[in-house]
Amino acid sequence: MSAADAAAAAPIRVLLADDQALVRGALAALLNLEPDIEVVAQAGDGAEVAKLAVEHRVDVALLDVQMPGTDGLEAARMLRAAMPGCRMLMVTTFDRPGYLRAAFEAGASGFLVKDTPSSELAAAVRRVHAGGRVVDPALAATSLTSGANPLTEREREVLSRAQSGAPVAQIAASLHLSAGTVRNHLSSAIGKTGEANRIAAAHLAREQGWI
Amino acid sequence: MSAADAAAAAPIRVLLADDQALVRGALAALLNLEPDIEVVAQAGDGAEVAKLAVEHRVDVALLDVQMPGTDGLEAARMLRAAMPGCRMLMVTTFDRPGYLRAAFEAGASGFLVKDTPSSELAAAVRRVHAGGRVVDPALAATSLTSGANPLTEREREVLSRAQSGAPVAQIAASLHLSAGTVRNHLSSAIGKTGEANRIAAAHLAREQGWI
DNA sequence: AAATTGCCATGACAGATGTCATGACAGACA
DNA sequence: TGTCTGTCATGACATCTGTCATGGCAATTT
């Protein structure tokens, strides 16, 4: 079946979610060039995604992972609950292995990095719409070799707060813990990451998509 | 003169530089919808910009500030040297006030944040091409209130290296300085930023576009 | 010529950080 | 039941970090 035939039948109804309006509009222009694809809704925030998808009877949702407030992963979980038949294709700026796993756990059918050639986007949308899966092979490989997140929930919380330079006392207060406990969690996270201090550990954890 | 008339006369020849191929392709699709604008070259790296711009007799270069290797600001400086008549419009993901100043010092005629509505992009390209300037008013205001970069060259170098968690000894070795001197520079930078430690200071400095 | 500023360096001090040993409790699991 | 893991906590120790006083040098400004 050619793209033109498909368009004549019924175009694929796409929703775009990206916090950057310029990128969102540009992606819409790109996809609307395809005769068998139609962008029927756009969201600048993950919170709107589920509602818009239902309203516009969306076939495929293209979700940016990085968004302020409700991010793409959270939006995917909400959308899956609200509209289980809707396919989801995640798009991300950073190739952090941890995101790949999280995306599929959230119900996504595909995962694209933003340095994919633009000519492949439409094909990815079609494949996902047809029930297939889309994964960047290189990213899948690094995801397998790097393995799962070794950090516990508490370690992630503590490390996240340490990122911005908050001292132990402040982290402890914000989590209602003793300072010693926070230092223990930090020490444990530092050990698991193999780094020398909390900052380097937080860096690595962010790169891996662990926090 | 309408856009159609302008297209009949001679379309504006645009170069796109962005490290993310998907975004680059999408922006090209968006701009090519305009009859009076034609994307004649694309670069995924700042180093190629000047050469491509000359080869394709580019009127306006759309440069992403954030690129690995040669970034948009560096590319702008090289392009101005190689082709002084070429207009430059900077595009950025993050609205860091310091970048605005740096962009105009590098010779740019305009500065757009990526959450600008996509409908305004073509207008910005036309205005820059006509010799005008484009600045996001909100960003210009914060740029004025936040003022110039208070950090010295050394302080920026030291703070940059401290960002990723490198200990003082390592920073000192990489800059061929004594450990004490590095700590003095860090202390000075911490004082100037009004933060409590090197990490918070580095965070603020990055947000402001100082490092 | 004098003052200012940035850069480099040293030494000393207080406080923050990373590590380790130890103990307690709850939930999961074989 | 016993074991394991994650969580919380305390105390002690060595090291790292941030600050300050002090001094010297070069370039710029007044």
Question: For chain A, how many structural domains are there in total?
Answer: 2
Which of A19, A115, A199 comes nearest B22 by C-beta? A115
The chain-wide mean pLDDT, for chain B, equals 91
Residues A161 and A136 in one domain: no
Position A143 pLDDT exceeds 90: no
> Which residues on neighbouring strands pair with residue A112, listed in sequence order?
A91
Q: pLDDT-derived band of residue B148, with 50, 70 and 90 as boundaries?
A: confident
Residue B130 belongs to a domain with what CATH number?
A: 3.40.50.2300
CB B89 within 8 A of CB B112: yes
CATH number of the domain that residue B200 is part of: 1.10.10.10
- Is there a single domain that holds both residue B55 and residue B73? yes
The answer, yes or no, to whether residue A65 has pLDDT greater than 80, is: yes
CB-CB contact of A114 with A24 (8 Å):
no
The answer, yes or no, to whether residue B127 has pLDDT greater than 90, is: yes
| Residue B163 beta carbon within 7 A of nucleic strand C | no
What is the mean pLDDT of the segment spanning A28-52?
96
Nucleic chain C: which protein residues 178-197 of A have CB below 7 A from it?
180, 183-184, 186-187, 190-191, 196-197
Find the CB nearest A164 among B44, B165, B200. B200
Regarding whether A96 and A15 lie in a shared domain, the answer is yes
Q: Å between A171 CA and D1 C1'?
A: 39
> Which value, to the nearest 10 degrees, does the dihedral of the CA atoms of residues A186, A188, A189, A191 take?
120
Is it the case that residue B139 has pLDDT exceeding 80?
yes
Instruction: Decide which of A117, A145, A173 is a domain's last residue.
Output: A145
Phi-psi region of A139 (alpha: psi -120 to 50; beta: other; left: phi over 0): alpha
Q: Write out the residue range of the structural domain in which residue A93 sits.
A: 3-145
B188 & B113 share domain: no
User: Span B141-164, mean pLDDT?
Assistant: 86
Pick B20's closest partner by Cβ from A24, A114, A202. Answer: A114
CB B165 within 8 A of CB A203: yes
Give strand pairing partners of B12.
B37
- Which pLDDT score is estimated for B133? 95
**C-alpha torsion sign, points B14, A116, A206, B68:** negative
B115 CA: distance to closest CA in chain A (Å): 4
Q: What is the pLDDT of residue A8?
A: 58
Q: Are residues B101 and B23 in the same domain?
A: yes
Residue A211 has a pLDDT of: 86
Distance CA B168, CA B151 (A): 18
Interatomic CA distance for residues A136 and B24, integer angstroms: 19
Contacts of A197 in chain B (CB under 8 A): 165, 167
Contact B165 A198 (CB under 8 A): yes
Residues B157 and B140 placed together within one structural domain of the fold: no
> From the Cβ of B184, is strand C under 7 Å away?
yes
> Is B159 found in the same domain as B117?
no
Between B146 and A117, the higher pLDDT residue: A117
Looking at residue A7, its pLDDT comes to 47
**pLDDT reading at B7 higher than 50:** no
Q: Tell me which of A174-178, B8-12, B86-90, B179-183 is least confident.
A: B8-12
Residues A141 and A159 in one domain: no
Whether the per-residue pLDDT at A92 is higher than 90: the answer is yes
Q: Give the residue from B145, B175, B195 where a domain finishes.
A: B145
* Mean local confidence (pLDDT), A90-108: 89
Among residues B118, B145, B172, the one where a domain terminates is B145
For A176-185, what is each residue's pLDDT tens digit?
Answer: 999 999 999 9
The mean per-residue pLDDT over the stretch A180-203 comes to: 94
Residue A56 CB closer than 7 angstroms to strand C?
no
Query: Quick check: A52 pLDDT over 70?
Result: yes
List the single best residue of B23, B120, B190, B207 to mutate versus A (max A Cβ within 10 A).
B23
What pLDDT band is residue B105 in, cutting at 50, 70 and 90? Answer: confident
- B52 or A148: whose pLDDT is higher? B52
Question: What percentage of chain B has pLDDT greater than the value 90?
Answer: 77
Assess whether pLDDT exceeds 60 at residue A2.
no
| pLDDT at position B132 over 70 | yes
Say how far apart CA B29 and CA A28 lie, in whole Å.
Answer: 9
> Do A136 and A161 belong together in one domain?
no
Mean predicted lDDT score pLDDT of chain A:
91
Cα distance between residue A158 and residue A88, in whole Å: 31
Tell me, yes or no, whether A132 and A184 share the same domain. Answer: no
DSSP string, A68-106: SSS-HHHHHHHHHHH-TT-EEEEEESS--HHHHHHHHHT
**One domain for residues B30 and B86:** yes
Interchain pair A118, B24: CB under 8 A: yes
Q: Which band of pLDDT confidence, cut at 50, 70 and 90, is reported for residue B5?
A: low
Q: What pLDDT, on the 0 to 100 scale, is given for residue B8?
A: 58
Whether the pLDDT of residue A166 is over 70: the answer is yes
Average pLDDT over residues A125-139: 93
Check whether residue B128 and residue B101 sit in a common domain. yes
Which chain A residue has its CA at the smallest distance from B200's CA?
A: A165
Q: Is the CB atom of residue A180 positioned under 7 angstroms from any atom of strand D?
A: yes
Least-confidence region, from A191-200, B32-41, B50-59, B137-146: B137-146
